[in-house]
Amino acid sequence: MRSIFIHTPKFSLVSVSSLSADIHPDARWQQNGLTVAGGNGYGNGINQLSNPYGLHVDDDQTIYVADWLNHRIVEWKWGA
């Protein structure tokens, strides 16, 4: 199982996909967080992921997720 943590000046992201939470020790939590991608459970729908494995955020804040069991790369554009 993998966990992902990203913090940029514009946002923070923590994705935990294991039975035990492995939160980065320097993680800073915001009281009013914003979900920018996901939140629709596991599956193969366009708004779902199945065992996300890798993540990349580009300079335009576009998020790319390697959706391992669906054999695809999913792209979420900032503000879309």
C-alpha span between 5 and 16 (Å, rounded): 9
Using CB atoms within 10 Å of the CB of residue 3, give its burial: 0 to 12 exposed, 13 to 18 middle, 19+ buried: middle
Using CB atoms within 10 Å of the CB of residue 38, give its burial: 0 to 12 exposed, 13 to 18 middle, 19+ buried: middle
Question: Is the whole model's pTM more than 0.85, yes or no?
Answer: no
Is the per-residue pLDDT at 72 higher than 90?
Answer: yes
pLDDT-derived band at 1, boundaries 50, 70, 90: very low
Instruction: Name the nearest CA neighbour of 45 among 72, 19, 63.
Output: 72
Phi-psi region of 39 (alpha: psi -120 to 50; beta: other; left: phi over 0): left
For residue 61, the model assigns a pLDDT of 82
For residue 23, the model assigns a pLDDT of 66
